Amino acid sequence: MNDPLNHFLKHFGESIGLGALEFDATGALGLAVDGQALGLQRDDERGRLLLYTDLGPLPAGTPDASREMLAIRLLQASLFGNLAASGTLALAPDSQDPEQPLRVVLWRAMEIAALDLGGLERGIKQMVDAAEDWREALLEWSEQGRQAVDSDSGASGVHPTMAIWG
């Protein structure tokens, strides 16, 4: 059977010098693009291609108020996907480290039937670019949260919505 997604993936891999890429038996493929791990997962049952990347742990050892502020900012940024490469920011359990139970994940679903080679390339580029921005933002917010809580003010002085949309 001629599968357009496999065809696009093969050409995408060749265009970036990785040769013909293909999904494994479970429909998964892992890539390193610009030093960032990016996962692709077929969801044939729903006709989707899932793109996802781990942005790192939700900072452990920071006060609960700081972690709560970060979680609120992630939710705000996921509203309509505008600030998340048309995707969603989520918290996922870290099965490798029970002391660090949550990791921040950026993911996006793309309709396979509407996908072409250009759309696949744009989707991957948008995810890589957004992941880089979000990794930097998480580090910055984590530090701001620690400073705010350390100063006993309980807030950074910037409303979370303004930090996102402003």
Domains (range + CATH), the chain: 4-165 (3.30.1460.10)
Out of 80-84, 101-105, 158-162, the most confident range is: 101-105
Q: Which of residues 132 and 157 earns the better pLDDT score? A: 132
φ/ψ of 51, rounded to 5, equals -110, 135
Residue 156 has pLDDT above 50, yes or no: no
* Interior/surface letters 100-116, b for 16+ CB within 10 angstroms, e for the rest: eebbbbbbbbbebeebe
Q: Give the model's pLDDT for residue 1.
A: 47
Q: Give the model's pLDDT for residue 144.
A: 63
Residue 153 has pLDDT above 50, yes or no: no
Q: How far is CA 60 from CA 100, 104, 134, in A?
A: 6, 12, 17
d(CA 161, CA 157): 12
Least confident range from 59-63, 135-139, 140-144, 146-150: namely 146-150
Task: Compute the average pLDDT of residues 28-56.
Answer: 91
What one-character-per-residue DSSP string does the chain give?
A: ---HHHHHHHHHHHHTTS------TTSEEEEEETTEEEEEEEETTTTEEEEEEEEEEPPTTS-HHHHHHHHHHHHHHHGGGTTTTTSEEEEEE-TT-TTS-EEEEEEEEEEGGG--HHHHHHHHHHHHHHHHHHHHHHHHHHHHHHHHHHTT-SS-SS-HHHHHH-
pLDDT band for position 108 (50/70/90)? very high
